[in-house]
Amino acid sequence: MGFWGFRLPAEKRDHFIITTMIVATAALSYYAMATGYGQVNVDFPTNGLDLEKAKVVTRPIFYARYIDWSITTPLLLLDVLLMAKLPLSSTAWAIYADLAMVITGLIGGLVGDSWRWGWFALGCFFMIAIFVSLFVDGAKAVAKRDNSLSSFYNSTVLGLVILWTAYPIVWAFGEGTNQISSDVEVYLYAILDVLAKVGWGGFILYHNERLTASYSKG
């Protein structure tokens, strides 16, 4: 994909370069996980804060995934933020909230006791903050900048919201409560990653001409 991108004139390359970086990062992270790296075993009680008394379960936490997300999710956001061309402060806020969401999720996964739910709640707060920036500020900015792009922008943001919301659900049943095994969790995240990176990113690339034509307008 990246190679096609380099054959395009510079002003049409943005989404290709972003998607190449996303897919390359995912490949590195899956390579690490497939070869047994990028994971730690965490002991956590399934029924309370007290590690001494509770039933303790050991579960692998794939921290490589969070390193992957901390690089790829800001890039995915950039795909839509490019359309909105928000002021730098709003773009920086969305990216900050995104990193905070991933890092609080990682800490939550590593914390052994029920305090992990505090980290999870913070992660959800940041995810909602991103959605608000995209749906409220971003949507207004696109409508003002190039109204003909509005419905495309809104559907890509809606797709993002639906796909991203599935991640904390998998987290809650997997890392959070151990209701689903680590193997099933690996499959579910893999499906979501393919949809969010290749499916969603590919949809944006498919519309690259139209998007870059709009950017050159201002």
Query: Rule CB under 6 A: which residues touch ligand RET?
Result: 69, 72-73, 76, 101-102, 104-105, 108, 120, 123-124, 127, 164, 167-168, 171, 193, 196-197
Task: Give the whole-angstrom CA distance, residue 22 versus residue 29.
Answer: 11
- In terms of CB distance, is 109 or 146 closer to ligand RET? 109
Beta-bridge partners for 40: 61
Task: Give the whole-angstrom CA distance, residue 68 versus residue 79.
Answer: 17
Q: Are 31 and 48 in contact (CB under 8 A)?
A: no
CB of 152 to ligand RET, least distance (A): 19
Residue 132 structure tokens: 């608000």
CB of 53 to ligand RET, least distance (A): 27
CB of 164 to ligand RET, least distance (A): 4
Task: Give the whole-angstrom CA distance, residue 58 versus residue 199.
Answer: 34
CB of 137 to ligand RET, least distance (A): 19
- In terms of CB distance, is 94 or 196 closer to ligand RET? 196
- In terms of CB distance, is 22 or 141 closer to ligand RET? 22
- In terms of CB distance, is 63 or 171 closer to ligand RET? 171
Q: Which residue is nearest to ligand RET (CB)?
A: 105
- In terms of CB distance, is 165 or 181 closer to ligand RET? 165
Task: Give the whole-angstrom CA distance, residue 41 versus residue 190.
Answer: 20
Task: Give the whole-angstrom CA distance, residue 111 versus residue 133.
Answer: 29
CB of 89 to ligand RET, least distance (A): 23
Identity at 205, one-letter amino acid code: L
Identity at 192, one-letter amino acid code: L
